[in-house]
A and B are shown apart, each in its own frame.
Chain A
Amino acid sequence: MATAETTLTTGKQSIFRSSAAQKLLAFAALIVIFVVFSILSPFFRTPENVVNILLATAVNGVLALGVTFIITTAGIDLSVGTVMTLSAVMTGLAISIYGLPVPVGILVGVLTGSTAGLINGLVISRMRVPPFIATLGMMMIARGLALVLSTIETGTVKPIYFSDTPVFRQITMGSVLSPLLSPIAPGVNVPNAVLILFIAALIAAFILAKTVLGRYTVAMGSNEEATRLSGVNVANWKTAVYALGGTFSGLAGVMIASRLNSAQPALGVGYELEAIAAVVIGGTSLSGGQGTVLGTIIGAFIISTLTNGLRIMNVPQEWQFVVTGLIVILAVYLDILRRRRS
């Protein structure tokens, strides 16, 4: 703990340097995992399977982007998984039950996430409820509301389908990239979900590195009191960070609904932990003040590559959990070792 705090106070330059090293480390780990699986199985290294891994990362990756901001402020968000589900259900209600145009439905879903995040932020910054508790509460509330809202049409809990709007599925499963890629890699179909993940990551990286919001996110996580004393309205900015995190959950909700072509009201529990794992593997420190979007994306890829590879190797699922758990601990331990040295 003491070492963590010293690195945080050593100033801007070391933050950049250490996150660069972390990115490198995580990226090296991803490459190693990839190479090992490629040697072990010919089915792993096919272009189709790489696309599978990319696609399997999309939803968790977008969730993890939002969580990156929140963890960088030394906060936590346990509600991202069920807020995602709530957003999916709201999108379903808007499009399939109230018959609104698809773009409006998407906006409804994303804004549902923003609103849940905003409420998280207000509860944390104004009511002074610790983030863990506030978002735990929101996790349950969103889960309950998702189930309640799914009963609107028939009176029983049931998924909402997008059968009348085939275009909705194309949002994630269509491929605007295919025509561009076909000369280089014919037959490889990269779904839009992957494109959305990368665009969302670019936006997140821009916000974190180039905007006031991003700077204050890091500052609040490094030393909240000092940030407050230098005249920053910490309560407002923190609320904004949680609202931003919620917005990513909302986007993830639209994406999962589109990919499954249905809003599944019972889904989403456990997704928050996977997102947090991706962020942590990527080198964002739980004690705050240090976060990298690229790291998070790599972390998310490490998780889905492991899951995919172990499955292709036919490793029993019980052991897959064990391996993933070990990787999470190892990643954080390496991070601590590296910081001690520097």
Chain B
Amino acid sequence: MKNNRLAMLLLGMLLIASLVSACAAPVAAPAAAPATGGDAAATEAAPAEADAARPYIPVISKGFQHQFWQAVKLGSERAAADYNVDITFEGPATEAEVDKQIEMLEAALAKNPAAICFAALDTQAANPLLEEAHSRGIPIVGFDSGVDSDIPVATAATDNIAAAALAADKMAELIGGSGKVAVLVHDQTSRTGIDRRDGFVNRIAEAYPDIEIVNVDYGGGDHLRSTDLAKAVIQANPDLKGYFGANEGSAIGVLNAVAELGKEGEIVVIGYDAGAQQKEAVRSGVMAGAITQNPIGIGYKCVEAAVKAINGEEVDPVIDTGFFWYDASNMDSEEIAPLLYD
């Protein structure tokens, strides 16, 4: 009996080991694929011999499974290919897992990288490690929410406050400068959540005295919860004229709520970021428009800045990667279309 169990345990471990080794190969491949592009044959042999010489830059993001982060990852991989550096891209599963991110940063430091790209979930928590990196001469480049300290040589980010203020201006314009609006945000603790909420709310307060914000709520970016939440808010405010969803999940939640209550066209919906559902809603007019960032640009610029810092070149401390308003009229334009991921 005991032997049996031991044998099963060993068998299990063997299975897991073979599974991991089987998975490891295909995982590495897609990372290289977008980088190599057309001349796959030429670069294929290169990594093995160049490994030692190529600078290694870990990119530690705030997430990996959402499409926004996947777009940032794509950008950083493109920059890695263009500048001939090795990168790894990782991030915790949710934006609440500050501890997981710190572990990633510790592990990255242990690998003695040439530079680190970092989007802090919590700057205070990361500070001791950032100071260690600083004292060891490893340049830190912030991206997205950045790092709230003097240590980073540069930060590649969207100005979320200004972007949300633009959403507020558009909202005011579309509802005719007066009436009730509501705001649905992903959370009240992350930098992007705070900035987008404040950017929108403060702009309305300053510039549009006739617009009343009746509700600011948080749906965790979870599509289903955001939907039910927005429905309750619309139910409680039958004369609601506009609804701003401050990230993709929130915006989809608002869209679902409006559709399920049959209020398409009655409520002006403004979203944030892209994704196939949001794009379709903008195209069909159910969503008036949305703010898009430049996630590929964020990934690209942070790796680029890291390379420059490694080479001792001058780096702009603030790299504004830009934001844009898009609606049905301009979403297919050359300027906007490449920024909108599916």
B74 (CB) vs chain A CBs: closest residue: A156
Tell me the smallest distance from the CB of A122 to a CB of chain B, in Å: 12
B235–A312 CB distance below 8 A: yes
Tell me the smallest distance from the CB of A145 to a CB of chain B, in Å: 11
Beta-carbon contacts under 8 Å, B252-303 to A: 252, 256, 260-261, 275-277, 280
Tell me the smallest distance from the CB of B223 to a CB of chain A, in Å: 5
Chain A contact residues (Cβ within 8 angstroms of B): what range? 35 or more
Tell me the smallest distance from the CB of A292 to a CB of chain B, in Å: 25
Please tell me which one of the listed residues A269, A308, A312 contacts residue B94 in the complex, with CB atoms under 8 A apart.
A269
A259 at the interface (CB under 8 A from B): yes
How far does the alpha carbon of A163 sit from the alpha carbon of B66 in the complex, in Å? 20
How far does the alpha carbon of A269 sit from the alpha carbon of B252 in the complex, in Å? 19
B57 at the interface (CB under 8 A from A): no
B238 at the interface (CB under 8 A from A): yes
B275–A159 CB distance below 8 A: yes
B67–A311 CB distance below 8 A: no
A22 at the interface (CB under 8 A from B): no
Beta-carbon contacts under 8 Å, B201-226 to A: 214-215, 217-218, 222-224
How far does the alpha carbon of A123 sit from the alpha carbon of B122 in the complex, in Å? 39
B232–A155 CB distance below 8 A: no
Tell me the smallest distance from the CB of A181 to a CB of chain B, in Å: 16
Please tell me which one of the listed residues A173, A191, A311 contacts residue B233 in the complex, with CB atoms under 8 A apart.
A311
A157–B65 CB distance below 8 A: yes
- A127-B8, A159-B275 are known contacts. Are A260 and B236 too (CB-CB below 8 A)? no
Set of chain A residues within 8 Å of B280, measured between Cβ atoms: 163
Please tell me which one of the listed residues B30, B224, B235 contacts residue A260 in the complex, with CB atoms under 8 A apart.
B224
Set of chain A residues within 8 Å of B33, measured between Cβ atoms: 155
B324 at the interface (CB under 8 A from A): no
B231 at the interface (CB under 8 A from A): yes
A256–B67 CB distance below 8 A: no
A262 at the interface (CB under 8 A from B): yes
B229 at the interface (CB under 8 A from A): yes
A52–B224 CB distance below 8 A: no
- The main secondary structure of chain B at its interface with chain A is helix
B227 at the interface (CB under 8 A from A): yes
B275 (CB) vs chain A CBs: closest residue: A159
How far does the alpha carbon of A48 sit from the alpha carbon of B235 in the complex, in Å? 8
A267–B223 CB distance below 8 A: yes
B217 (CB) vs chain A CBs: closest residue: A317
A126 (CB) vs chain B CBs: closest residue: B8
Beta-carbon contacts under 8 Å, A147-195 to B: 147, 154-159, 161, 163, 173, 191
B280 (CB) vs chain A CBs: closest residue: A163
B238–A43 CB distance below 8 A: yes
Set of chain A residues within 8 Å of B227, measured between Cβ atoms: 259-260
- A 115-159 binary contact with B (CB < 8 Å = 1; else 0): 000000000000100000000000000010001000000111111
Residues of B within 8 A of A (CB): 8, 30, 33, 64-67, 70, 73-74, 93-94, 214-215, 217-218, 222-224, 227-229, 231-233, 235-238, 252, 256, 260-261, 275-277, 280, 342
The 10 A-B pairs with the shortest beta carbon distances in the complex, nearest first, are A311-B232, A156-B70, A56-B228, A312-B236, A266-B65, A43-B236, A157-B65, A155-B30, A49-B235, A308-B232
Residues of A within 8 A of B (CB): 41, 43-44, 46, 48-49, 52, 55-56, 59, 127, 143, 147, 154-159, 161, 163, 173, 191, 256, 259-262, 264-267, 269, 304, 307-308, 311-314, 317
